[in-house]
Structure formats: C-alpha cells, structure tokens
Amino acid sequence: MIGRKFTAAPFDAMVFERCSAIHCCWMSEAIDVLFVTADLEVVKVCSELAPWRFASGGKRSATVIELPAGTVNACGIMPGDRLKWK
C-alpha cells in the first residue's frame, strides 16, 4: 500500500479493549475518541483528533472507542457519562 491512497469505508465505531492510548499515524481524516473505564464510564473525550496525533486516556482508561469525527459533539458525550452497549 506504500504510495497508494487508501480511503476507509464509513464506520459506526471501532472498539479497542485493554487499550489506554492511540495514535492516528497514516490516517487522512480526523476522528472522535472516547477513553472509558472497564465499567464504561467516559474518562476522556478527544473531539476531532487530527491525523498524525497521539492521545492517552490515563490510568483509569481500559477501552478506546473511535468514532467518526463530529459524533461526540452531536451526541453531547462528556467525561463522567456512562455508556451502555446495545
């Protein structure tokens, strides 16, 4: 894929368990990122994390959830919120 343009398909979310930090290297678009505890409490929100950036959720973070850019603001997600899986 070196030297080729890759365009990702639209997605709802990507979940990375047992993870507390991410990078956006080689990405071409911004994403929203939620860092959550094991019991799904949001501990940190990164809205529109730009390509080639790094983010960490800290010691309490157990899972990272990547969302399309703009999702966090549209849903009003904030630290302290508790998520529910459907």
Q: Which amino acid is at 71?
A: T
- What is the mean predicted confidence (pLDDT) over 53-78? 93
Per-residue pLDDT, 53? 94
Using DSSP, state whether 4 is helix, strand or coil: coil
Q: How far apart are CA 80 and CA 14, in angstroms?
A: 21
Average pLDDT over residues 23-49: 94
pTM of the model: 0.84
| Pick from 3-17, 34-48, 60-74: least confident | 3-17
Cβ pair 29, 67 in contact under 8 A:
no
pLDDT score, position 57 = 93
1 falls in which pLDDT band (50, 70, 90)?
A: very low
